[in-house]
Amino acid sequence: MNNILSGLTASIIALPLAIAFGISSGLGASAGIYGAIFLGFFASLFGGTKTQISGPTGPMTVISATVIAAFGANLPLIFTTFLLAGLFQVALGLLRVGKFVRFIPYPVISGFMNGIGMIIILLQINVALGQNAKSSILEALISIPQALASVNLQALLLTLVTLAIIYLVPKKLTSILPSPLIALVLLSVIAYLFHLDVSYVSDIPTGLPTFVEFGFDMASMSFVLISALTLALLGTIDSLLTSLVADSLTKDKHDSNKELIGQGIGNAIASVFGGLPGAGATMRTVTNIKSGATSKISGMFHSVFLLLILLVFAPLASKIPMPVLAGILIKVGFDIFDYKMLKQLKILPKYDISVMMIVFVLTVFVDLIVAVGVGVVLSSFLIIHRLIQETEVDISGGETEENKDDRMVKDGIVRIVNIKGPFFFGSTSYILDRVDKIYDVKNVVLDCSLVSFMDLSAIYALSESIEKLKSSGIEVYIVADDTRKEKLIKLGIGEFVNIQNINDTQLGALRRIKEKELASLA
């Protein structure tokens, strides 16, 4: 029973958001509702997160709106893009790539979410001022001065009152009725009774949805495929982040790959009925869990209740003022911001802040997937830079407590190179540039005992450096543990250095050098 009641609560929250996202996308309120119904049901049925509620979300709506704006009235191509997005998600799940989402650096996710929040807010400013919605950020920003000059005060008042209700309604009341729904119903009634001069939601079709047509246009296939893949990747990130939130609340563990398959099936079926693609919705999922949900039944009943609401109350939805929906979406935009990282900007490393800001700007003004891609690449380079900084090379006589009485290190017989930290493609040139400058000794000990890891690039470069030293008449010794010694031998280091010259301690290498020196004097 708890799962059915929690599904009802989630559907009440989902209704105004589905309508708002549908209209914001450009396809109309029905597309948002159909998306919430079909995606919500089938993602719950086939997904891998028991308590997740899925439907149109801010990030997915932003990308969908771009596709819709590009194709205009060509609905078959639009729904083909949405269908392919769902099929791509299924493929990602079957390829088991869900586990890799956790490797996206947090500053990238933070910048991305902040950017999405800003996009949603900026796109609603014109609607809040009583003007028509704009399809792009630049267009919305450019038109704000004109909108301010011809502001519709009734529309602005409705938006402000909507935000006031959402933020100020007591929690005791919102635990019974969600504040967005209170604002939606109350202000819709007021606008209707007082005949306010504002724009309203267009007519919502009554009855069950019908199948849509799909189309293929070779000239547009490149854009269709890129957009579909973008939606699939974004839906993957959006859904799995929500799954992690659900895990933290339920102490359960979701199946990320199964979740992707469920999301893909849901989005594909939603497209067949003209629904907007979506993903796991954090706010709806959290509400569902806190209302007592424990199984997939809650998500499936959430969709059933939405369908019943559509069949019974669809005519009333056409009386909803657009500025009220703008207020609801502005609240959604603020909720998406990553306040956790924003509050800690003063104490966070500059590297992380830089990545977050770059991803934020690219998300708002360029492209969401480009932003994530650039952020991941930039984070990788910064990690390499940090690893290089952790690498230390100490070239000296190398006296230690064990060999302090050994005069070889002071007589130009031995030079010891102590390498500490990661020895990989990023630090190779730094390390070997130091080694290659050694020329005034008979023997060189390359002590790799404190190397944290060594990759293939380092091993090959080390081999070349040893060859250069040997060409200068210098005998080379390596200090490495048994595991690393075995790896070096397998990769052909024996072609450049005598296997007997690979020792497990620095002292062992020095003893071998001493023995050879004594033998040469005998």
Per-residue pLDDT, averaged over 394-404, amounts to 54
What is the structure's pLDDT at 398? 46
Residue 353 in tokens: 């802040």
Among residues 60, 66, 56, the alpha carbon closest in space to that of 26 is found at 66
Return the pLDDT at 492: 85
Strand partners, 416: 396, 445
Predicted local distance difference test score (pLDDT) of residue 400? 42
* pLDDT value of position 399: 44
* Amino acid, res. 447: D
Contacts with 41 (C-beta within 8 Å, 6 or more apart), sequence order = 266, 299, 300, 303, 304
* Nearest alpha carbon to residue 309 among 212, 204, 386, 183: 204
Q: What is the pLDDT of residue 401?
A: 41
Using CA atoms, how far apart are residues 168 and 170, in angstroms rounded to an integer? 6
Q: Using 50, 70 and 90 to split pLDDT, how confident is the model at 301?
A: very high
User: What whole-number distance in Å separates Cα of residue 427 and Cα of residue 394?
Assistant: 14
- Percent of the chain predicted with pLDDT > 90: 33
pLDDT of residue 447: 92
324 pLDDT exceeds 60? yes
Q: What is the pLDDT of residues 200-220, one digit of tens each?
A: 876 676 777 889 999 888 888
How remote is the C-alpha of 214 from its chain's centroid? 30
Task: Please check the confidence at residue 266 and state whether its pLDDT lies above 90.
Answer: yes
- Residue pLDDT, tens place only, 372-398: 789 889 988 888 888 888 888 888 754
> For the domain 392-521, what is the CATH code?
3.30.750.24
DSSP sequence for 8-47: HHHHHHHHHHHHHHHHHHTS-HHHHHHHHHHHHHHHHHH-
Split at pLDDT 50, 70, 90, the class of 403 is very low
The answer to whether 92 touches 236, Cβ cutoff 8 Å, is yes
User: Is there a contact between 510 and 445 (Cβ–Cβ < 8 Å)?
Assistant: yes
Longest dimension (CA), the chain: 113
Sign of CA dihedral 163, 167, 169, 175: positive
pLDDT of residue 187: 93
Q: What pLDDT sits at residue 300?
A: 95
pLDDT digits (tens, 9 = 90+) for 84-134: 999 999 999 999 988 777 677 889 888 888 887 898 899 889 999 998 877
The Cα–Cα gap between 230 and 371 comes to 12
Measure the CA–CA gap between 173 and 150, rounded to whole angstroms: 37
- C-alpha span between 227 and 215 (Å, rounded): 15
- DSSP notation for 444-503: EEEEEEEEEEE-HHHHHHHHHHHHHHHHTT-EEEEE--HHHHHHHHHTTGGGTS-GGGEE
Q: Decide: helix, strand or coil at residue 128.
A: helix
Domain spans in the chain, listed from the N-terminal domain onward: 2-335, 392-521
Judged against a pLDDT cut of 60, whether residue 183 lies above it is answered with yes
pLDDT in tens, 361-374: 998 888 777 887 89
pLDDT (tens digit, 9 = 90+) per residue, 421-430?
998 888 888 8
pLDDT averaged over the chain?
Answer: 86
List all residues 6 or more positions away from 387 whose beta carbon is below 8 Å from its beta carbon.
Answer: 421, 422, 424, 426, 427
Distance of alpha carbon 45 from alpha carbon 117, whole angstroms: 29
SS3 256: helix
DSSP 213-233: P----GGGHHHHHHHHHHHHH
